[in-house]
Structure formats: C-alpha cells, structure tokens
Amino acid sequence: MTEIKIGHFMIGAGCVMEDANTGKILCLQRDRASFQKGEWELMYGRIDQHEDIITGLRREVLEETGLKDFQIKKLLRVWHFYRGEKTPETEIHGFTFYCQVKSPVVKLSSEHSGYQWLDPQEALDLIKIPGVKEDIKLFIKNKNTPAVVFSGVDNLISELY
C-alpha cells in the first residue's frame, strides 16, 4: 500500500477591490516593519484553520481596511508561492478575487501605513511586486469574462488540458 503524504502549507485569499462609483482600485502600502516593507499591494491574508475561503476573505478585508459591505464578483486567479525560503512554513496556495464596494471608506490596520484609490493602470505603475502586478493585469483583462488563471501551478494546468 502506498503511503499518503499530507502537505503542510497555508491558504491565502486576496482581492482587487474596485470602487463601483469610480472604477478605481484600492492599493495599500505595507507598514515599514512588515514583510515587503513599504511596498504597495492589494489586500491579501492567510485563511485561519477551519475557515472557508470566502469567510477568510471577508475577515481579511475587514481587518485590513474596515470595508465590510462589498460584493465578491468573481475569482480571478489561483496562485502558489513561497513567502521567503522554500519551507512548509512559508508555502502559500492562494486565491485572488475581484470585489466591488459602493461605500469606499477605508480604515487601515497596523499592517499598512497608507492607501490610495487608483485607476488600474496607475496601480500597475506604482506596484513593484510581480504577483500583485499579475493580479491587476488579470483584473484589467478578465474582469468581465469568466476566465480564471492558474499561476505557479504548471503541472496542474497540463493535467487539466
């Protein structure tokens, strides 16, 4: 009998949050004492044990921005990366959603030191982190299509097609 090997990794969820009134997206600046110090990004966070993806996404958005009345429009991307060295403690599989809010009043957590509502192209110019840029590009390209992109999971793609 073959032994089943169970992995140890984290699940993350994030979103491109669009202001329904202006079409601008929310960009957050990481606090200087955190991972990726001072960099601009979107909202991302780890899902807690026994928490489903949607509940975790809603909790993370609320914790990081104070936004609670928003609509989840679609899944944009499924991704995989290491937050630092390639170890089980740093491995994250994640999901990025397209979300929309009608009342864009932001109250930042201590994780972030600033925020801006920007046109998506302006956000691409500001943000330097490759995975975050990829999420914005996919938002621009696919926000009105049913397409979902898998990245960092090449073997899965070849098995699916």
Indicate the SS3 state at residue 138: helix
Domain 10-160 has CATH 3.55.50.30: no
Confidence of residue 157 (pLDDT cuts 50, 70, 90): very low
Determine how β-strand 149-150 pairs with β-strand 70-82: parallel
Rounded Cα–Cα distance for residues 90 and 87 (Å):
5
Nearest to 151 by CA among 89, 78, 59: 78
- The confidence score (pLDDT) of residue 91 equals 87
Cβ contact 29:112 at 8 Å: yes
Average predicted confidence (pLDDT) for the chain: 87
Per-domain residue ranges for the chain? 10-160
Cβ contact 81:131 at 8 Å: yes
Confidence of residue 148 (pLDDT cuts 50, 70, 90): confident
pLDDT in tens, 98-146: 999 999 899 999 889 999 999 999 999 999 999 999 999 999 999 888 8
pLDDT in tens, 80-106: 888 788 888 888 899 999 999 999 899
